[in-house]
Amino acid sequence: MTKLFETYTFSGNHLKNRFVMAPMTRSRASQPGDIPNALMAEYYGQRASAGLIITEATQISLQGMGYAKTPGIYSEEQIQAWKLTTEAVHEKKGKIFLQLWHVGRVSSSQVNGLQPVAPSALTADNTSVYIFDGAPNGDATFVPVEAPRAMDQSDIAQAIREFADGAKNAVAAGFDGVEVHGANGYLIDQFLRSNSNIRTDEYGGSKENRIRFLIEATEAVIEAVGKEKTGVRLSPFIKFKDMDDPEILETIMLAAEHLNRLDIAYIHLCEADWDDAPAVPLKFRKELRKKFKNTIIATGNKTPEEGEELLENNMVDLIGFGRKFLTNPDYPDRVQQNAPLNEISDPHTLFGGGGARGYTDYAFFNTEEVHQ
């Protein structure tokens, strides 16, 4: 494999390889206040072997929060605390973008004390979020999402401002850019899909109307920090959280055309990551490449060989890896040396759990470096 280990430059960001550490929620933020901390900085700094790190989803407001102990980017204390992470990654010559998150209807008042909001007052079936309520091993306890309140025009305007403010705050904290989270059944994705968005105003109905919130939020982020610091994540093939929309592929393509005109830094495709997931059709990849001229990232449980093939065929430019970076902070080195990989040591530590255990204590291959 050669493509994965090539350097790559996009929007002024020079990457040492084409590995991307994909966003993974780990729920280690300090309480109260959902504050990033030194342990999180160590975790990301360990994984600066990636050409680009995209942080765990980070809420742009308390209203935008859906899971317990996830970090925010809306308070001064959060901004200052994130500097520990950006400094740790930059010290190792890495690049790091912060993912801006509003969960919309995927929340519960048990998490943030607020009724969820959404494009329409439709509850997501078979969908849960988690809290920490003293369960054994520090495990997360999953609770059903609650019925959301339909957003009015002022709610929409406020959410758009919060995306822009979150972007400004992220850059103030030292991040190289931001990723607008438009995937995986959260607020922006809820606007995109006809089964979760039944509005009759300019934000609902036609595909053109359903992409409006995504485009306006992205435009606000661009105005705040610049197009070269703005990426967008989309998940056209993900149907979890009650998001099965027969029109979504056409809607995503329409959105890609608009995002291309905005000249954003990248589109990040979140692809199905379960073992027997269907492959993304080649036709879709080719069409997206025609519609969107800048960098495309693909993430979805790919092997290095699969990633290499996509790069060689010019279907994408960067390959995201999630769980492999979770357990192997030096994952690119291990791939290059064909070294054995660490496996998840304890599933209880994935979300919250034991602090450093199962988080910063995974061994490096060459140095056997571990968290002490």
Is there a domain that residue 355 lies in? no
| Alpha helices (H) along the chain | 38-46, 76-91, 109-112, 153-172, 187-192, 207-210, 212-225, 248-262, 282-291, 304-312, 323-327, 331-337
Residue 108: CATH number of its domain:
3.20.20.70
Number of domains in the chain: 1
d(CA 25, CA 31): 16
Using CA atoms, how far apart are residues 313 and 295, in angstroms rounded to an integer? Answer: 14
Where residue 226 falls (left for φ over 0; alpha for ψ -120 to 50; beta otherwise) is left
In a domain, 255, yes or no: yes
Q: Are residues 225 and 208 in contact, defined by beta-carbon separation less than 8 angstroms?
A: no
What pLDDT score does 248 carry? 96
Whether the CB-CB separation of 50 and 8 falls below 8 Å is answered with no
In this structure, how many other beta carbons lie within 10 angstroms of the beta carbon of residue 254? 19
User: Is residue 361 domain-resident?
Assistant: no
Model confidence band, residue 279 (pLDDT cutoffs 50, 70, 90): confident
3-state secondary structure 132-171: CCCCHHHCCEEEECCCCEECCHHHHHHHHHHHHHHHHHHH
What does the angle CA 99 – CA 16 – CA 58 come to, to the nearest 5 degrees?
10
Q: Per the domain annotation, does 363 fall within a domain?
A: no
Note if the pTM is more than 0.85. yes
Length of the chain equals 372
Q: How far apart are the C-alpha atoms of 250 and 73, rounded to whole Å?
A: 32
Determine, yes or no, domain membership for 356: no
Res. 368: pLDDT tops 70: no
Region of poorest pLDDT, from 172-186, 307-321, 339-353: 339-353
Distances, alpha carbon 338 to alpha carbons 21, 248, 304, 305, 333, in Å: 19, 39, 11, 12, 8
The whole-angstrom separation of Cα 94 and Cα 19 is 11
DSSP label at residue 194: T
pLDDT, tens digit, for every residue of 68-97? 999 999 999 999 999 999 999 999 999 999
| 318: in domain | yes
Write the pLDDT tens digit of every residue in 122-173: 999 999 999 999 887 788 999 999 999 999 999 999 999 999 999 999 999 9
Report how far residue 52's alpha carbon sits from residue 44's, in angstroms, rounded to the nearest whole number. 11
Question: Among 49, 32, 30, 50, which Cα is nearest to 40's?
Answer: 30
Question: Read out DSSP for 244-260?
Answer: --TTHHHHHHHHHHHHH
Residue 57 lies in a domain: yes
pLDDT at residue 275, rounded to an integer: 65
> How many whole angstroms separate alpha carbon 1 and alpha carbon 19?
12
In sequence order, what are the residues at sequence separation of 6 or more whose Cβ sits closer than 8 angstroms to the Cβ of residue 283?
Answer: none
Q: Which residues are catalytic?
A: 186
Task: Give me the domain span that covers residue 261.
Answer: 3-349
- Please indicate, yes or no, if residue 96 is contained in any of the structural domains: yes
